[in-house]
């Protein structure tokens, strides 16, 4: 299934994408695409619904029908740093022996095609296309061999990062990762049963038509199951929590000289089978 949230900001409604790419309204069955419907039991109930039996939503998604973040009421937005060996190399950092975990504040979450407003003091705002994990059944201290069963699905994330505040202004990475709008999620949540191999997906990002990132999740240091198991050692993962899994090389910081976002530019990014995002920088 491909699950979506559509409508104006703050008024999103739950929906499901049919085989022709049209959205059907799910609000007669649930109030939102969130942790309440993303457990094993909740997803089974959604699979029993024939999309053709649901009201058709007028408009074409991502054209004249706005999509919000594909998960609502996110409790935790975790992320993994330096999780691609080739990205660690371009950053001049060692490949980590264990996953580097940090948080993106949930107030940064945005729709996949919403404009990105640069912070007033931004000097080095960067892009990072990433595979997102959405937790289904929650848990703590999840064994590695069971971790995949706790993944409801996958999505596209742009882990937008202000590098000055992340790396050079003291404190933790979180300051540079959590500005409003720095976490576009979607366009849709693709349930795990429709993703044959999350460790072999092509992902890419362009700025004004120039392709900066073109990689594959096959070069991740830690795969999705490892990340879920590891993160659950430190926090109880809850249904609807989101984890960004790291980015391949080609970020602005890694260019020689570095290249950062400017107002008026447009980012396009995507992951095979999971959809695309477009953000204008304003």
| 38 within some domain | no
Mean pLDDT of the chain: 96
Mean pLDDT, to the nearest integer, of 20-37?
Answer: 97
Domain span at residue 136 reads 71-280
Looking at the chain, the whole-number percentage of residues with pLDDT higher than 70 is 100
The region, left, alpha or beta by phi > 0 then psi within -120 to 50, assigned to residue 238 is: beta
| 64 within some domain | no
User: Does position 275 have pLDDT exceeding 90, yes or no?
Assistant: yes
User: Does position 89 have pLDDT exceeding 80, yes or no?
Assistant: no
| 23 within some domain | no
* C-beta separation of 39 from 1 below 8 A: no
| 47 within some domain | no
User: Does position 171 have pLDDT exceeding 80, yes or no?
Assistant: no
| 172 within some domain | yes
Mean pLDDT, to the nearest integer, of 162-180?
Answer: 88
- The residue ranges of DSSP E strands in 55-113, in sequence order, are 77-81, 100-103, 109-110
| 215 within some domain | yes
Residue 91's pLDDT band, with cuts at 50, 70 and 90, is: confident
- Strands 100-103 and 77-81 come out as antiparallel
CA–CA gap between residue 190 and residue 193 (Å, rounded): 8
| 9 within some domain | no
CATH number at residue 113: 3.90.850.10
If one compares 174 and 229, the residue with the highest pLDDT of the two is: 229
Residue-by-residue DSSP string for 104-132:
--GGGEE-TT--B---TT-S-EE--EEEE
| 39 within some domain | no
Q: What is the pTM of this model?
A: 0.96
Number of domains in the chain: 1
Neighbours of 102 (CB within 10 A): 18
């Amino acid at each position: 299934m491909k699950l979506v949230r559509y409508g104006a900001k703050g008024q999103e409604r739950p929906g499901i994408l049919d085989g022709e790419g049209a959205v059907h309204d799910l609000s007669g069955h649930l109030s939102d695409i969130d942790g309440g419907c993303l457990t094993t039991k909740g997803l089974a109930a959604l699979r029993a619904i024939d999309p053709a039996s649901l009201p058709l939503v007028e408009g074409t998604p991502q054209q004249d029908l706005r999509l919000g973040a594909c998960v609502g009421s996110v409790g935790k937005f975790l992320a993994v740093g330096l999780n691609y060996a080739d990205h660690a190399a371009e950053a001049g950092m060692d490949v980590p022996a264990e996953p580097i975990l940090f948080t993106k504040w949930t107030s940064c979450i945005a729709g996949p095609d919403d404009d990105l407003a640069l912070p007033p003091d931004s000097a080095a705002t960067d892009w990072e296309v990433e595979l997102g994990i959405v937790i289904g059944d929650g848990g703590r201290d999840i064994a590695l061999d069971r971790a995949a069963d706790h993944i409801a699905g996958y999505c596209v994330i742009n882990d937008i990062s202000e590098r000055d505040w992340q790396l050079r202004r003291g404190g933790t990475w979180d300051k540079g990762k959590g500005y409003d709008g720095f976490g576009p999620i979607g366009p849709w949540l693709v349930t795990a049963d429709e993703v044959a191999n999350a460790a072999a997906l092509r992902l890419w990002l362009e700025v004004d038509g120039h392709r900066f990132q073109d990689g594959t999740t096959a070069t991740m240091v830690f795969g999705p199951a490892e990340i879920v198991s590891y993160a659950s050692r430190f926090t109880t993962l809850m249904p609807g929590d989101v984890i960004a899994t790291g980015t391949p090389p080609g970020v602005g910081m890694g260019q020689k000289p570095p290249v950062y976002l400017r107002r008026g530019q447009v980012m396009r990014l995507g992951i095979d089978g999971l959809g695309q995002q477009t953000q204008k920088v304003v």
